[in-house]
Structure 1
Amino acid sequence: MNIYLTLQAIIEKAQALPISDERKAVLQVLIDYIQKKIDQGQEINLNYICTHNSRRSQFSQIWGKVAAAFHGIDINSYSGGVEVTAFNERAVESIKRFGFKVSKEGVGNPKYFVLYSNDENPIVAFSKVYDDAANAPKGFAAIMTCSHADENCPFIPGAEARIPVRYEDPKAFDDTDQEAEKYDERSLQIGSEMLFVFSQIMKN
């Protein structure tokens, strides 16, 4: 798999970021879930969930797929929310800056086709509810990426595991001088942590 050169440099930068012991403890629950699925020879379905499915869950879906592919692990990476908005354009611009190739189809809530390698199928990213037909209906881990969704969705139908991995929302910096910096910072953090997760998996 030939990951795009700009993105390769971002991956190296993400791998070099320190991860605190506190965050590693949070991520260990996800590591254990993935390892169990590998050990049992079962399909791995990860559904990253936040309220609007517009920023953090989209970053997580994309980085989850890339990190798994980087470490040679086959997963299905999804995302969803509790209401439909759109994949925020600021977040889209951030992944473009990181070297992903992105094409767009539609208006309002467009579908974005996100490529990290010419050897792989694109990641299809758009805002949707967590139980949208595009996502796995059952046998998935619900990874709660924001506190609001985690606290207001006590039950996720079809989920066999519920794993909180919360991130701060870059939306707080919209329309400020720090906007691009904070979106990139959050994306890089998520990339770093997903790369760490899959680096810990023992393949059979």
Structure 2
Amino acid sequence: MKNILVLCTGNSCRSQMAHGFLNQQLGDQAAIYSAGIETHGLNPGAVATMQRAGLDITSHTSNHVDEYAGIDWDFIITVCDHAYENCPFIPAPNAQRLHHNFYDPSKFEGSEKDTRAAFDKARDEIKAYVTDFASTHF
């Protein structure tokens, strides 16, 4: 079983969505963890957009990357530039490190309808990335 860490700034939105899709697509093939360089709690918009996609992430927690010290990572995936540029060193000599900067829908300001669309767009982009990752690496 492979260990995958998905890393974002606050572990509230994009990393949580990726975590949910990785769990869905990889099942027993990998242990999925998500963390942030800070912890901001679950973003309600992320929870809602994942529910619209048929995934429940309400049991996820917002974790700090230091909580996972000592895990032998196979993959470390950063999903935002801020985490990629500011993450503390993670000793994982065998880990494949991947990076993709996804738009942060939690920063969107607009109507409720437009905010929902922003979350759904980010969710769909993350799902496509995860689908490609799973088919390439598993």
8 Å CA contact retained: 1:90, 1:183:
yes
Share of identical aligned residues, percent?
29
8 Å CA contact retained: 1:50, 1:82:
yes
8 Å CA contact retained: 1:51, 1:83:
yes
Cα separation, partners in 2 of 1:129 and 1:159, compared to 1, 3 Å:
farther
User: Does 1:193 find its partner at 2:129?
Assistant: yes
**Residues 38-187 of structure 1: matches in 2 within 5 Å?**
43-69=1-27, 74-101=29-56, 112-113=58-59, 125-132=60-67, 135=68, 137-140=70-73, 141-153=75-87, 155-158=89-92, 160-161=94-95, 162-174=97-109, 176-177=111-112, 178-187=114-123
Cα separation, partners in 2 of 1:136 and 1:152, compared to 1, 3 Å:
closer
Cα separation, partners in 2 of 1:99 and 1:51, compared to 1, 3 Å:
same
Displacement of 1:171 in angstroms is 1.7
Question: Distance in 1 between the 2:94 and 2:11 partners?
Answer: 20
Displacement of 1:153 in angstroms is 1.7
Question: Distance in 2 between the 1:48 and 1:91 partners?
Answer: 15
Question: Distance in 1 between the 2:56 and 2:107 partners?
Answer: 26
Aligned length: 135
Q: Deviations over 1:44-68 (max 9, x none)?
A: 1111001100111101111112122
- Structure 2's unaligned 5+ residue stretches are none
Question: Distance in 2 between the 1:165 and 1:187 partners?
Answer: 14
How large is the Cα RMSD of the aligned pairs? 2.1
Q: Deviations over 1:46-91 (max 9, x none)?
A: 110011001111011111121223xxx6111110001121010111
Displacement of 1:185 in angstroms is 1.1
Structure having the higher Rg = 1
Q: Deviations over 1:131-181 (max 9, x none)?
A: 32xx47321122111101111125223464332122111122145341111
Relative to the length of structure 2, the TM-score reads: 0.85
| Higher helix content, 1 or 2 | 2
| One-letter identity of the residue aligned with 1:163 | L
Aligned to 1:40: none
Displacement of 1:192 in angstroms is 1.4
Structure 1 outlier segments of 4+, above 6 Å: none
Report the 3-state secondary structure (helix = DSSP H, G, I; strand = E; otherwise coil) of the residue aligned with 2:9: coil
- Structure 1's unaligned 5+ residue stretches are 1-42, 103-111, 114-124
Relative to the length of structure 1, the TM-score reads: 0.59
